[in-house]
Structure 1
Amino acid sequence: MAVNWKKRSNLQSFLTHTTPMVPAYPLPKTCLRDLNWQLILRGKMEYFSLGDLWDQYREWSVYGVGVPIILDNCQRIVQYYVPYLSAIQIYTNKSLAPHRIFLEESERESSSDDSESEKLSRSSDAVSEDSILDQDSSWSTREILGQLYLQYIEYGSPYGRIPLMDKVNELAQNYPGLTSFKSVDISPASWMSVAWYPIYQIPNCRHVKDLSACFLTYHTISASFQDNNVPEDMMDSFHITESNARKQKRWGNCISLFPFGLATYKLQGGLWRNPETSDDEMINSLYSAAYSWLKQLGVDHHDFDFFTTH
């Protein structure tokens, strides 16, 4: 099926090709009585495994993911991006055994001038239970968040980071649930952010400055939000990528973790936006969602601050 490029943008192409799709499994009837109330209200009777989620990034972490792009002269190229784990918080449901709260930070040289003690203090403040909800909320913080199992926030320079899959394997040595949990095991407050940096394009077009754009995507990793909505004007292009078609043929039913938030860096000129689409509205909406999410959780996300101020 051919893509109607006139109504598609390079930004949409990026989001389409970097959104992970994972196989969905039906919940056994024996598990329904233990299903958390958020899933029951939303009619969720499926789940995915975090192991399957990380598998989507395995090849991308080695070779990069190709994003088809149309230049201003109508030349078509493929730009490759490598994913890096920028931040992640996993909160477990109350049904799981409680875990000690661990604060994980990058062991690499920090690009910040803050002292190590200041960073740990800031990370500790970031997960304060009192920061998630307003005082007049009728829901308790513990009921919403669950128990914090893992927090990781990257502070290192992009040039010193290891690809996402390598970082996940590294963290999983101390936090095995990172690869073994199911989406129904973790609370709706669980999320991750992926930083995407360009590495090369085919054919080579180094003279095009707009191709240096970097992206920061935010994804929920709880079953409560497994139906992340794809914008209406992206539906066709989202489902017809060769990668998505292969996954749907292989698994039959799958879940797309379309980003709920987005921040950009060096997104200049008109290369990435198509005025015939809702790109500008979508960028503003996704950025606002990311900002609100971090504010509600009280998280000081280093990459988000950098993308916002540069």
Structure 2
Amino acid sequence: MNKKEMLGAGFQLTRGRHGEDPFYSSAKARRANQRIDQLRRAQSDVSNGRSADSKESVVGSISRECENESASQKLVPELVSETSPSSSSNLERFLESVTPSVPAQYLSKTSLRERKADEDKRVPYFVLGDIWESFAEWSAYGTGVPLVLTNKDRVSDLAARFPELKTLRSCDLLPSSWFSVAWYPIYKIPTGPTLKDLDACFLTYHSLHTPFGGPGSAQPMSLVEPKESEEMSLPVFGLASYKFRGSVWTETGGSENQLVNSLFQAADKWLRSCHEAEMAESKVVVPESVLKKRKREEEWALEKKQNAEAAKKKNAENRKLIFKRAEQYSKEYADKEKELISLKREAKLKGGFYVDPEAKLLFIIRIRGINAIDPKTKKILQLLRLRQIFNGVFLKVNKATMNMLRRVEPYVTYGFPNLKSVKELIYKRGYGKLNHQRIALTDNSIVEQALGKHGIICTEDLIHEILTVGPHFKEANNFLWPFQLKAPLGGLKKKRNHYVEGGDAGNRENFINELIRRMN
């Protein structure tokens, strides 16, 4: 709430009290200020040598005159206190004036057995609706200025929209309930440079809670009608100010300065405690397991992000290397083909024949099942990883492998694959063995992850290593899962007979490439 107050010439800060006219007359205020000046002059004369009796007489007569005129007019708020103006500082009079008084009501504790009200244990409380009336706002020109919130809602309108606000009792509120009032001057009469100290603005803090009973006083309540003269005040427990000048508000210093400092510290401590309480309430207690899970997920997310960034950077570097190697392999294959053609032409010109070097690579395909198979043959087929019909594998040519093939020759067919056959098999039906799983070769990263330590980082490297039977042929061939081919287009002729006898089994040398085309 904002409170607009007028600062009089006597440095007394007043407010409209409950039950008085909320309008203000500047002419009446000037007459009242003149009487205040007379009262001060009388006080000064008394301090210069007059007797205590004459002092009380003058002060009493002037005070009664002011009170009579105020009572007859009933338009000007009470400006003269019962005590002498010099008995308290302006700050004390300000705190006394801004302390609201509200009608007190009582709830008595009733015994469960006797159902009898005990008047000695009455607990006072007030209704929030009375606070609105205790802060009647008025301007210097006698025109009522209603309080406005958010430029459209008046306090009365707000109370009408939410009637339960007016009926709330202070004893039902939490101990931390509070309200504050802003006090600031809007006019200075008379005006002048000597009154610049009256620009001070204040923010007073009041409590909305009245304690009720003890921890074990949960008993039925009965309403006790209050007396008309009984009121309860809501004193200031904290103070904040702007443009505060001690020369005007704390004339005597000492105790007044201590009072100001204590009020400032109380307001600061109260606001800090309220903020800490709100922060504590806003914090939700999270189980330790959830916190550990969050931390673990954050670490995983960070690690995943870092790995993705590292992989992206590495892929960018590998892409250039892969392109360069593919170009190098293509040139190597072309040069080898040209060399073979030139050697054959040279031999033909000399009237001879060029004999191709012995092949280093074999491709074996199983063409028969397990019916009527002896244990030794079955074991050899298992060693060759040919466990199903139409399975195919690459194999290095040596004496041991050729002896094994002779023993299982009725169940397999094999030959020497060329570059085209190797590429088509790996690109179309290639699967890799990674972490004991069969994974399709859809990305170079799969090859790099399994064979990167051997310098094989892409599919072209794998094809080159298999075709040329390089130094890491064993690792590369073991990485490749056995090829699962389809039944040959057109079928097999006589798989029980050897290839040289018009059948399908046994060695067919370079003609294996034609069978691979039909089965791939």
Superposition TM-score tier, normalisation by shorter sequence = 0.3 to 0.5
TM-score (norm 2): 0.30
Q: TM-score, normalised by structure 1?
A: 0.48
Greater RCO, 1 or 2 (C-alpha within 8 Å, sep 6+)? 1
Q: Greater helix share, 1 or 2?
A: 2
Higher strand share: 1
